[in-house]
Structure 1
Amino acid sequence: MTVGVSVLAAALLLGALLLPDQLDRLTPGAFLRLPVEGVLLAAPLLALPPRAKRAAAVAGGFLTGLLALLKGVDMGFRTVLLRPFDPVLDWGLLGNAADYLRATSGRTSELLAITGALVLALAVLTLTTLAALRLTAVMTRHRPRAVRVTLALAAAWLLCVTLGLRTGGVPVAAAIDADLVGERVQQSRTSLADAGAFRRQSAHDAFAHTPPGRLLTGLRGKDVLFTFVESYGRTAIEDPAMGPRIGAVLKENTAALRASGFAARSGWLRSPVTGGGSWLAHATFLSGLWISNEQRFRTLTSSDRTTLTGAFRAAGAWRTVGIAPGVDRAWPEGRFFGLDHVYDRARLGYRGPGFGWSQVPDQFALEAFRRLESGRRGRGPLMAEIILTSSHHPWAPVPRMTDWRSLGDGSVFHRVRKDGTDAEEVWRHPESVRAGYRDAIAYSLRSLFGFLRRYGDEDTVLVFLGDHQPVPAVTAGSPGKDVPVTIVAHDPEVLARISGWGWTEGLKPAADAPVWRMDAFRDRFLRAYGPQPGRPPRPPVTGRGRRASG
């Protein structure tokens, strides 16, 4: 029994030291290695006096458990966001993960998951600490043998390094935790320094002192809709398994919109994030700053930076609104982004079922915008930020298009939801995950184009884009961060102003269309639609009649 406990203690510490930080490396071969950290931990335990030895064992065991937990968190971050956990900047994302779980699986599942995570973390730290104390006691009782074994292991590690021995494609001589600590120390220094660097960068705003009368003169009298399509990435267009379906949707609607008098130009933007973090991409697009972490986002939203949406409000010629079906709590950032009014989930009037994380189908969200704002008679021009969430992970179940006249309060979607496929079933197979993503993107695009064909007019300007690429399960691990961006307008003058951008005609950007960093868009857009030499400014419009919509 005593020998068995000691063997289990050694196995636990060895497993914690050899645990990889990437899920695809979690194989039996990963544990058939020799960790230098084990040798370095054993050496002081043999040399220290009894009291110091016990303290060192507690510290070593606790640190080993802590690093094992960090590697576990890294696995999750790499799987979803294609990057490791940042110990300085990423704590807030754990709360977002809990919110996501509540939205998709309910409050009970969220509480169980949080409780389970806390219990697991406490258990790992306790067991690795107890295991280190156990092995210290064994080594103390058998000190001569322990010294010989430690020296032999050190020599074996050095020999494996010298000979470059490998197993399963990785070195037999491992230094996983030592490398991890070194990387995190450097990462933490960089993250701490980033705050000051970002404040200096954000202090320069090319449009901070632009007179309101010179803002967006080329769009006066237009309704301008900035629409984010969740997870609409380059993969949706160019992946062989998805591209043909999405391409057909884009081709079909390019022709349909052209028949209605609309034209479009499309390009690519490089998002600061991938897999998630939508709000960081939205902030990047609107602010003209690279918002790649939560620290930058908080700094931005506490500043007086001119945002793209805020410029419309500052110009004084538009009512500015937000359609945010994913917001279910107070959202003070809406004021920073220059929105006169935000319609969150509760204010959209939806009484139907949820579809995974997305609680409001895109078609209903767009119809609610028409009902609440754009369909009102006698109104003035609108600028709207619209966030479409049906293509948000986990892409199951996916809504389907419904007769616009029958949407009502959304109860019609109960039948649609009943016929849908649950996330548990979809996520059993990689092929069904990719199919679910493809279907969700197709639904979101059809909703948007259907809305534009049905309610758009000669004064409608639509700017729509993806916010980031989907998770690696869909992109096959591709590190690419490009997303499509398109401007659609009925008035030829609107697209004439961006004729020098080199964008592709139509709703689908060509593979060789320009790729800009997402933070470059704000300045390019404001310059394109500001005063132009030889172009008379559009007269301001404060109110006008609208054709009936419904």
Structure 2
Amino acid sequence: MDGLTDPSQYVRIPAEAVIGAAVLIALPRRPRMALAAVSGVALAAMTVLNLLDIGFNQYLGRGFNVVLDWSLFADAESYLEDSIGPTTTLVAVAGLIVVVLLLFVVLALSVVRLGNLLARNSGLATRGTLAAGVVWITCSSLGLQLSGVPLAADSTANALKDQAHRLSATLRDEADFRKVAKVDAFGNTPGSQLVPDLRGKDMIFTFIESYGRSAVEDPIMAPGVDATLDARTKALAKAGFHAKSGWLTSATYGGSSWLGHSTTMSGLWISNQQRYRTVMASDHLSLTDAFKKTGDFDTVGVMPGVVKGWPEQNWYGLDKVYNAFQLGYKGPKFSWSTMPDQYTLQQFQDRVHSKKPADGKSRMSFLILTSSHTPWAPIPKMVPWDRLGDGSVFDSIEKAGNPSSYTLTDDTHSKQEYGKSVQYTVTALTQWLERYGTENTVLVFLGDHQPNAHVSGNHASRDVPVSIVAKDPKLLDRIGSWNWTDGLRPAHDAPVWKMSAFRDRFLTAFGSTPHPKKN
């Protein structure tokens, strides 16, 4: 991003322009105009790709993938609608489309006009092009720079080379990953040999949106978040619960939460949309499906962020899923989040947790909490649990909260409000556990990814906290060799694993027997 505002960027000599000028001077009129028009369109396309690269690096910590990332635009539009309203989003999207179309037209016409100008003044243009070529070769050979930036530029060629490399790597990765996904250390394990040490337990897996290492260690967010984690650790201990915490390195950053969810549950590194689709269409064992495969657990999902069909339910092995429309919420949305996490947890209690499964089974629950989703304004506040009702109690809280623009335009505000949202969700989750947890409750909760660079910074790690909470000390003894930190706040030097390592380590710790399924 800084390069766009650096004046030295605009005094560089682009090799592509020198070569293009030489070719346009030499061509007859019709071929020259055709080539000029195509070159203008190509230049516009590269400009759009460069801008997409900048945006993706800022929000997702990676460049734009021309094969896989087009589907994310629909999610981006939905996010804008939730943040700034449907009307403003419609205007913004329409304006952006017009600007992009104008860019293609203007650049195409501009290069055509430039080609005609060069042809009309071929003598002067030829001498100027030769001089520019000599200067470029000299600057390149001597490595001359201005403010640390090479004067001889070939950035467009390098950008094309980079995009071609990404395309080739994506196609290779798709083929290679299909083979990897067919290998599964527990793929042929009988249900009787999966998680035997958790039979009879009330098992809950919970993801907290954007709960990343920055929340625990950044100087702006950490004081409030760490105080909350320490206070909630003490409150849980008073209620008889114990916790251990560590770090996982997420497969995604800043967004695409489903990649973090599926990486944790599959034991595979699912870092892009193609890998996700491959796994969802496979029979690779998910951690949640392992509980269903035992025959001793009912499996249920509570997904307040799901607002359309969710075929992934089958891969996750969930008997029942409650989406945003099935939780009875009548209160206001909080920007992207359809409902406050405290309400979601109470609905989970009322509709699922308070009811015993049929046939004497145990239950495995899978929850996705969303109140800490960007843009972190407005954010909900805790209310008395017995006043939650249908969620209307949150009307006044939402109206009194900050508008989305409060964080969209100010990084410091983003950090502050993000920290508050994490404190809110951790408080809601652990208060729920205090109120409704039993001797058999085992809660695993973790972040899906770090927040975007506006909050976590341009060089943040991809680490997220993960905690296991239970009353049974013998259960936590089974993960003693993991060397995790006691309590809800992982130490800075606590072990860091790749997120894809969690499934197999968890299954092994609780007695599962590997029976590999090989490619």
Is the partner of 1:322 in helix, strand or coil? strand
Residue 420 of structure 2 aligns with an amino acid whose one-letter code is D
1:331 aligns with 2:310: yes
Give the corresponding residue for 2:405.
424
Query: For residues 369-388 of structure 1, what are the structure 2 equivalents within 5 Å?
Result: 369-376=348-355, 380-388=361-369
Give the corresponding residue for 1:229.
208
Give the corresponding residue for 1:37.
16
> 2:289, 2:401 → 1: CA distance?
39
1:86 aligns with 2:65: yes
Q: Deviations over 1:452-474 (max 9, x none)?
A: 11111111100000111111111
Give the corresponding residue for 2:488.
507
Does the 8 Å contact 2:382/2:424 carry over to 1?
yes
Give the corresponding residue for 2:80.
101
Give the corresponding residue for 2:331.
352
> 1:369, 1:361 → 2: CA distance?
13
Does the 8 Å contact 1:358/1:392 carry over to 2?
yes
Does the 8 Å contact 1:61/1:128 carry over to 2?
yes
Task: Identify the match of residue 524 of structure 1 among 499, 505, 513.
Answer: 505
Give the corresponding residue for 1:253.
232
Does the 8 Å contact 1:23/1:75 carry over to 2?
no
Is the partner of 1:264 in helix, strand or coil? strand
TM-score of the superposed pair, with normalisation by structure 2:
0.96
> 1:184, 1:370 → 2: CA distance?
49
Is the partner of 1:360 in helix, strand or coil? coil
Give the corresponding residue for 1:470.
451
1:128 aligns with 2:107: yes
Does the 8 Å contact 1:23/1:79 carry over to 2?
no
Query: For residues 104-115 of structure 1, what are the structure 2 equivalents within 5 Å?
Result: 104-115=83-94
Does the 8 Å contact 1:205/1:306 carry over to 2?
yes
Query: For residues 455-494 of structure 1, what are the structure 2 equivalents within 5 Å?
Result: 455-494=436-475
Tell me the percent identity: 45
RCO comparison, higher one (Cα < 8 Å, 6+):
2
Cα 1:378–1:127 shift into 2, 3 Å:
closer
Does the 8 Å contact 1:35/1:176 carry over to 2?
yes
Task: Identify the match of residue 297 of structure 2 among 301, 318, 321.
Answer: 318
Is the partner of 1:319 in helix, strand or coil? strand
Structure 2 residues not aligned, in runs of 5+: 514-519
> 1:453, 1:350 → 2: CA distance?
23
> 1:527, 1:377 → 2: CA distance?
28
1:149 aligns with 2:128: yes
> 1:24, 1:524 → 2: CA distance?
44
TM-score of the superposed pair, with normalisation by structure 1:
0.91
RMSD in angstroms over aligned alpha carbons? Answer: 1.4
Structure 1 residues not aligned, in runs of 5+: 1-21, 533-550
> 2:347, 2:8 → 1: CA distance?
55
Task: Identify the match of residue 64 of structure 1 among 43, 51, 57.
Answer: 43
Task: Identify the match of residue 439 of structure 1 among 406, 417, 420.
Answer: 420
Does the 8 Å contact 1:257/1:453 carry over to 2?
yes
1:390 aligns with 2:333: no
Residue 252 of structure 1 aligns with an amino acid whose one-letter code is A
Does the 8 Å contact 1:232/1:468 carry over to 2?
yes
TM-superposed deviation, 1:527: 1.1
Residue 492 of structure 1 aligns with an amino acid whose one-letter code is P
Q: Deviations over 1:52-96 (max 9, x none)?
A: 111111111111111011111111101101111011121111222
> 1:185, 1:331 → 2: CA distance?
33
Q: How many residues are treated as equivalent by the alignment?
A: 511
> 1:153, 1:282 → 2: CA distance?
53
Deviates more, 1:374-383 or 1:264-273: 374-383
Give the corresponding residue for 2:516.
none
Give the corresponding residue for 1:26.
5
1:220 aligns with 2:213: no
> 1:426, 1:230 → 2: CA distance?
17
TM-superposed deviation, 1:173: 1.9
TM-superposed deviation, 1:102: 2.4
1:284 aligns with 2:284: no
Is the partner of 2:211 in helix, strand or coil? coil
Residue 370 of structure 1 aligns with an amino acid whose one-letter code is Q
Query: For residues 298-313 of structure 1, what are the structure 2 equivalents within 5 Å?
Result: 298-313=277-292
Give the corresponding residue for 1:160.
139
Deviates more, 1:29-38 or 1:411-420: 29-38
Q: Deviations over 1:411-447 (max 9, x none)?
A: 0000111111112123332211110111111111111
> 2:369, 2:142 → 1: CA distance?
56
Cα 1:278–1:23 shift into 2, 3 Å:
farther
Is the partner of 1:412 in helix, strand or coil? helix
Residue 369 of structure 2 aligns with an amino acid whose one-letter code is L
1:171 aligns with 2:150: yes
Is the partner of 1:204 in helix, strand or coil? coil
Residue 218 of structure 2 aligns with an amino acid whose one-letter code is D
Is the partner of 1:405 in helix, strand or coil? helix
Give the corresponding residue for 1:295.
274
Give the corresponding residue for 1:410.
391
Cα 1:198–1:267 shift into 2, 3 Å:
same
> 2:89, 2:294 → 1: CA distance?
44
Cα 1:331–1:531 shift into 2, 3 Å:
closer
> 1:286, 1:330 → 2: CA distance?
20
Is the partner of 1:452 in helix, strand or coil? helix
Q: Deviations over 1:121-154 (max 9, x none)?
A: 2111111100010001111111101101111111
Does the 8 Å contact 1:458/1:490 carry over to 2?
yes
> 2:333, 2:27 → 1: CA distance?
61
> 1:531, 1:85 → 2: CA distance?
40
Residue 248 of structure 2 aligns with an amino acid whose one-letter code is L
Residue 236 of structure 1 aligns with an amino acid whose one-letter code is A
TM-superposed deviation, 1:23: 5.6
TM-superposed deviation, 1:106: 3.1
> 2:353, 2:50 → 1: CA distance?
49
Give the corresponding residue for 1:240.
219
Residue 396 of structure 1 aligns with an amino acid whose one-letter code is A
TM-superposed deviation, 1:235: 0.6
Does the 8 Å contact 1:30/1:168 carry over to 2?
no
Residue 459 of structure 1 aligns with an amino acid whose one-letter code is N
Runs (4+) of structure 1 exceeding 3 A deviation are 22-29, 377-380
TM-superposed deviation, 1:176: 1.4
